[in-house]
Amino acid sequence: MGDASDVFSQITRKRGVSYPVLTPNLKGFQSAAAVGVQEVAVFGAASQSFSKKNINATIEESLQRFQEVMDAAQKQNIRVRGYVSCVLGCPYEGCSRCKLMKDMGCYEISLGDTIGVGTPGSMALMSLDDVAVHCAGEYATAVNRGVRVVDSAVAGLGGCPYADGASGNVSSEDVVYMLREWLVKVGHFISGAMKRSNNSRVLGLMDTNACQL
């Protein structure tokens, strides 16, 4: 994490785009704030083993560190997002911290299926109220259950190097493809319900099998 400030300083940033920086402790936050970061993310874990492996802290220690970040961030009007990793499976053990991080002041909690072992069944058991998801697999199940923020990366870049078996991030292309398919179906449904033609000009360019109701 030593070079995060250098990386951030070299990004050509666009107005209106948020560039959150991972800051698991005050040291990271201070480095980030010093280069003008406007949003940071604290990242904890649902399992002690991954917490130790990833940020060299127990869950309890990590929450204390997050509180220090939160206190400093609130003073500098910097937004804080929170991650809870390994919610559906831990490569090191078989757990939830969301409420604690929400109560601290995180504006959003993103649940990480860090090693991509989630299934429709295990995702269906999760409480998904008012959270985002960070998972390579069961994002469709989560969106079907009302989640409206899916973390993704173009070409599926990324993935946690400290989680054996980390499956990388879901690619933005896959999420857009899924949403596009649903959008086409909604367009056909509402055009049929209103007995009017579907005026979309790109339907023909879309995958015809996505258009069957």
Ligand X SMILES: CC(C)(COP(=O)([O-])OP(=O)([O-])OC[C@H]1O[C@@H](n2cnc3c(N)ncnc32)[C@H](O)[C@@H]1OP(=O)([O-])[O-])[C@@H](O)C(=O)NCCC(=O)NCCSC(=O)C[C@@](C)(O)CC(=O)[O-]
CB of 12 to ligand X, least distance (A): 23
Of 57, 54, 50, residue with least CA distance to 87: 50
Provide the b/e sequence for 15-46 (b: ≥16 CB within 10 Å): eeeeebbebbbbebbebbbeeebebbbbbbbb
CB of 205 to ligand X, least distance (A): 34
Give the range of 49-57, 88-96, 101-109, 116-124 binding ligand X by CB under 6 A. 49-57
Q: For the CA atoms of the chain, what is the radius of gyration?
A: 19
Give the catalytic positions in this structure: 160
- 10 Å Cβ neighbour count for 61? 14
Give the range of 11-19, 54-62, 72-80, 121-129 binding ligand X by CB under 6 A. 54-62
Q: Which is nearer to ligand X, 24 or 137 (CB)?
A: 24
| 111 phi/psi in degrees, rounded to 5 | -90, 120
Quick one: which of 73, 134, 140, 184 contacts ligand X (CB under 6 A)?
A: 134
Rule CB under 6 A: say whether 70 interacts with ligand X.
no
Residues that bind ligand X (CB under 6 A): 1-2, 22-25, 27-28, 43, 54-56, 83, 85, 112, 114, 134, 160, 162
